[in-house]
Amino acid sequence: MKNAYIYLLVLLAVTFWGLSYVWTKMAFEYYQPITVMLIRLTISSVLLTVIFKIRKWGQKVERSDYKAFVILSFFSPFCYFIGENFGVYHVSPTVAAVIIATIPVFSPLLAWVAFREKVSSLNIIGFIVSFFGVMVMVLDADFRFTASPIGVFFLFFAVISALINVVFLKKLAAKYSSFTIILVQNILGALFFLPVFLVMDFREFIQIRPSWEAVGALVALAVFGSTLAFMFFTNGVRTLGIARTSIFTNLIPVVTAVTSFIFLKEIIDMSKIVGMMIVIAGLLMTQVTRLRKRRRALKN
């Protein structure tokens, strides 16, 4: 029963993350990307701080780790969300979700470059297959972009930012809980976005009279996408392990595609369906390798 409860939490996390692309697109009807991210991170930071105070989960960050946390937060959420949000601003939620989903595919290559970890042939094949799937989604038969090239560029910028983030995260994760890291990242991320917001969006923001739908989308992003989803997924990792939990993230593009069709009336043509399936196949190949490594470690 406990495992069934954990699986439910992980599925809810994946659902919230899949829906976050739709909520972001809905918020963009009134707000600019920088505004959306500042509000999202601010609300989430307040919620997490309250939860930590009530549950007494907070950890004190040591002064020697301040620099690492600042660098970590600069790449994610600041750089990552600039890439993701401006990407979603220019392309459909489904294309954005699929490109962001390739982060685990690139991770073994980063591990080889940064930590000299071995990369299996299955990892390399998975990378090639997933990249081909993305190309199917964004190019037509004449190799011309069907999706906005600027949007695709921003999304891969988000992928690169998330990968660099892993390098600094690995050091801090050995010392601090996931909850503490998420809280600090959200607070510092909001502080990074604040001056950009004041320069770029503030004048427009104070004149906006948003719909309740846009406000609801912003609140949903903060509460479900940036707070509960991370808490639920972290519980899953603690109980099921990283490898088994990560497999569920393959459902994120599927959730995004279905909800985009329902709420945004997005047209999901055959190229998007085929491309999405190819990307997910490549992701599964890389995660099979991770599961094998975990089994060998447990045997030893």
Q: State the 10-residue block means of pLDDT for the chain, 300 residues long.
A: 84 96 96 97 95 83 94 96 97 95 81 71 84 88 82 95 86 87 95 97 95 96 95 86 78 94 92 91 77 61
Residue 298: per-residue pLDDT:
57
Inter-CA distances, 229 with 18, 176, 279, Å: 10, 19, 23
Residue pair 282/129 in contact by the 8 Å Cβ criterion: yes
Residue 18: per-residue pLDDT:
96
pTM: 0.89
Residue 114: per-residue pLDDT:
67
Domain layout of the chain by residue ranges: 2-299
Residue pair 119/111 in contact by the 8 Å Cβ criterion: yes
CA proximity to 78, closest of 193, 166, 175, 173:
193
34 vs 32: CA distance, rounded Å: 6
With tokens 């937060």, the residue in question is 73
Residue 89: per-residue pLDDT:
96
Counting every residue, how long is the chain? 300
- 150: three-class secondary structure by DSSP: helix
CA proximity to 77, closest of 222, 176, 239, 201:
222
Residue 289: per-residue pLDDT:
64
